[in-house]
A and B are shown apart, each in its own frame.
Chain A
């Protein structure tokens, strides 16, 4: 089967890979680029575990064909932290015990980043609706929502 050569930017790096036309961006990220942070929870865009930010928009990587990423700029969970510091969302999730099994955590972090990029001072209700496309079966969302609100405060008012 012929394969398509895809060039894109992932977490600030120029990357390229070969992919079959019907392959998902999620499988390309995981199998071709070794970025395992995005998870497949459903493969149908219902759970958000594969959330990525592509050209500024929150997307389910399982619903995007890998060749569609050609020329795009993509942020995954692995791109949130700097070399010496976690992103405030990551730090707040840790301190707020916002993860239990952790399988949904990368997707929540990305969805929360997409929210805070657009709206740095969300209400609790806005956080809940912004995260409604991400399923967590462990936490009941309480500590996730609190951690996102806390991270928003920290981002708005750097120490």
Chain B
């Protein structure tokens, strides 16, 4: 079944059936030709005259004090033009987010994970730079390290930061520890909830750290001049973030830095921070030449942010009619070498797909000697959903209820309280559950020997700051400039919304991602926000333009502007005494009616619409090898409104497959001495085409009332359900429930063997 048929069969559209002319259609993306022709320029594709190559030396130890760094041999090597160490960077404050950023970019006194940057070289060729970096002599004093949550939380654990005292504990601890923070959400009385329950299920789960796995390694070219200004070409999820973060690390004023966004080769959250730009900037300043740094794949795995592993304990009570009465959750998430908010986010998500009168959720953020966590698509939600939706599946089995019906029975609606406080706005969880229940897939008989699993997932989505400038050209075309990098087709979405507003053919609109000096401030692309928030700015600018266009028509006709309406791309005279004026007619005459037409909008987008996804999979399990094969997969997701349905489907399918990888194969494997043992795509195995079936999609559209077209944002939530979907399907296929990910062949085989004996 094709995705289009799947969408049609569920009564949802995603096919422009909403009365819009352009929103909901599927034009070829504006930047597509360059990308299929091999012309699109990513950061590593830029070469400048006189450019040097930078190479970063990284720590081979997970935890050590840097006693000394001797760069003299490196500086004397052929082709070397500059060498920097942590001592060349401004001093970091003693604690806080600024310290964490500064000390992630380059270590100061202490290295906190294998792969931590300690020094860098710029030389004429890649080889010269690498050879010189390897000639830098670093003397380390080794310190004891911790690599997993349990060890890091132990009373006698080696402590990473002697000024880190657990937040969220009263009284404030007097001793430092690796527990950065404790988060609690509670409502009602869980003991009462358990007393009201007919069955109580208590389980412990674990997930492993995984990497975002974008195919493009981090890359940048930085050119600093003699006046102290820097131009940075970088691949990132937000070039204003690159500007501010680079300025912070270097102690520079942001006005010294201009960032030109290169095309970005995947991010998934992993490019919401920086690693190499300040290093290249300092090398360029020292050398007086442009410097390019491209990370190796090994460095990407060792030194950029994975998503955290987690340990989650769930205790859930339910009545025999399927009503979930209460949930108690204990969550601990890795943070990497510096503290983050992974556990807090996990706490907010863990029971969000369910209505609960009684809940108690407690989370711990834990630092350890691994690279610093960075966001990965709905960060923290997948592990939390794995725990909760595995238990919910067991409840459905125990009470003899269809797992979708049980979820519908416990489904929150608008006005119900969220676990973390505010009330739910309009949400589409029920519609997603119904879409899966009614899907051809769920209605079909499960083939012999296979297992079927379902699960749901939640993600917040966010708004934040965005800017857009829309210029109307003299020939009646439009240029839409935004500050959001185009990660997966957002240029096309911006153009579609502008086309809808202006009544202009989408092919007459040129969407552009502007650098930090041509468009207003725009936050990093995260929280599924680009089409939602930056789209709002585009719509606002277009609405401003429509007012201007009406005024120009009124001036041309010498009538009151109130008599002019904007209809389908033309000014129409209400009383009907004038022939309509097309947009092109007005822009062509603009010099005589007041000059060129352009508008800018900058806003803080409020009212991001929460996202839900519900998914079902059929799997088979090879009893001899433990290999799990995904035979069929269907995902339903509430998009609010699908602006470009093909790219909405693409986000849904991509999220699902990343989740399948997390569930079945992917994991960071560390040796006892603290080194990552699988820092490459051969041993860190992400899903390939032959591992998968088609991913059938049902776009559900419950519009977000806070967005002019109802957009919720679709980038993230798709990765949440696959972890429990896979676990539930494997349990259905084998009768064995596995609570530790990944469900890799050895682990599944071990579980099957254990169950037999």
Contacts and interface: CB of A to CB of B under 8 A. Distances in A.
A137 B266 contact: yes
Contact of A131 (B487, B658, B689): B689
Given A103-B42, A143-B650, A134 B28 contact: no
Nearest to B487: A101
Given A94-B29, A138-B488, 10 more contacts: A47-B215, A78-B39, A97-B26, A101-B487, A102-B35, A102-B265, A133-B688, A137-B215, A137-B658, A145-B694
B488 A36 contact: no
B39 to A, nearest CB: 7
- Chain B interface size band reads 35 or more
B32 interface: yes
B391 to A, nearest CB: 27
A126 B353 CA distance: 39
Contact of A143 (B263, B266, B646): B646
Task: Name the prevailing secondary structure of the A interface residues.
Answer: loop
Contacts of A43: 296-297
Interface string B677-701: 0001110001111111011000000
A44 B682 CA distance: 9
Contacts, number: 187
A41 B217 contact: yes
Interface in A70-93: 76-78, 80-81, 86, 90, 93
B45 interface: yes
9 contacts: A38-B38, A43-B297, A97-B647, A100-B487, A103-B265, A103-B266, A137-B212, A140-B655, A142-B694
Q: Which of A35, A76, A99, A103 has the most CB of B within 10 A?
A: A103
A88 to B, nearest CB: 11
A40 B44 contact: yes
B551 to A, nearest CB: 39
A25 B215 CA distance: 19
Contacts of A95: 28
A41 B216 contact: yes
B24 interface: no
Contacts of A38: 38
A119 B198 CA distance: 60
Contacts of A105: 35-36
Interface in B179-234: 212-217
B5 to A, nearest CB: 13
Contacts of B653: 139-140, 142-143
B473 interface: no
Interface in B658-717: 658, 680-682, 686-692, 694-695
Contacts of B695: 140, 142
Nearest to B661: A137
Nearest to B490: A100
Interface in A101-151: 101-106, 109, 124-125, 127-129, 131-146
B38 A78 contact: yes
A37 interface: yes
A136 to B, nearest CB: 7
Given A44-B297, A128-B690, A39 B42 contact: yes
Contacts of A128: 689-690, 692
B76 interface: no
B656 interface: yes
A77 B42 CA distance: 15
B33 interface: yes
Contacts of B337: none
Contacts of B18: none
Given A46-B682, A97-B29, A101-B265, A132 B39 contact: no
Contacts of A143: 646, 649-650, 653
A90 B36 contact: yes
A131 B689 CA distance: 6
Interface in B467-504: 487-489
Interface string B587-599: 0000000000000
Contacts of A104: 215, 265
Nearest to B36: A90
Nearest to A133: B688
A49 interface: yes
B168 to A, nearest CB: 35
Nearest to B2: A146
A31 B691 CA distance: 35
A62 B216 CA distance: 14
Contacts of A20: 127
B297 A37 contact: no
Contacts of A100: 266, 487-489, 647, 650-651, 654
B40 interface: yes
Interface size class of A (residues with CB under 8 A): 35 or more
Interface string B29-63: 10111011111111011010000000000000000
A153 interface: no
B646 A137 contact: no
A78 to B, nearest CB: 5
B264 interface: yes
A101 B488 contact: yes
A30 B37 CA distance: 15
B268 to A, nearest CB: 7
A99 B654 contact: no
Nearest to B126: A27
A18 interface: no
A42 interface: yes
Contacts of B26: 97
Nearest to B684: A46
Contacts of A141: 657, 687-689, 692
Q: Which of A39, A41, A97, A104 has most B Cβ within 10 Å?
A: A97
A76 B37 CA distance: 10
A46 B681 contact: yes
B681 A44 contact: yes
Interface in B285-311: 294, 296-297
A135 B28 contact: no
Contacts of A46: 297, 680-682
Given A41-B215, A76-B38, A145-B694, A97 B650 contact: yes
A154 B44 CA distance: 34
Contact of A37 (B38, B127, B649, B655): B38
A61 to B, nearest CB: 13
Contacts of B689: 127-129, 131-132, 134, 136, 141, 144-145
A70 to B, nearest CB: 21
A129 B689 CA distance: 7
Contact of A135 (B41, B47, B127, B686): B686
A78 B34 CA distance: 10
A132 to B, nearest CB: 4
A99 B32 contact: yes
Nearest to B660: A140
Interface in B235-293: 263-268
A124 B270 CA distance: 32
Nearest to A100: B488
Contacts of A27: 126
A100 B486 CA distance: 9
Contacts of B647: 97, 100
Nearest to B718: A140
Contacts of B15: none
Contact of B690 (A30, A86, A109, A132): A132
Contact of B650 (A90, A109, A139): A139
A135 B690 contact: no
B36 A47 contact: no
A151 to B, nearest CB: 11
A47 B684 CA distance: 11
Interface string A42-79: 11101101000000000000000000000000001110
B604 interface: no
The 9 A-B residue pairs with the shortest CB-CB distance, nearest first, are A37-B38, A103-B265, A140-B657, A102-B35, A97-B646, A100-B488, A77-B38, A140-B653, A46-B681
Given A41-B217, A103-B216, A142-B695, A109 B656 contact: no
Interface in B443-469: none
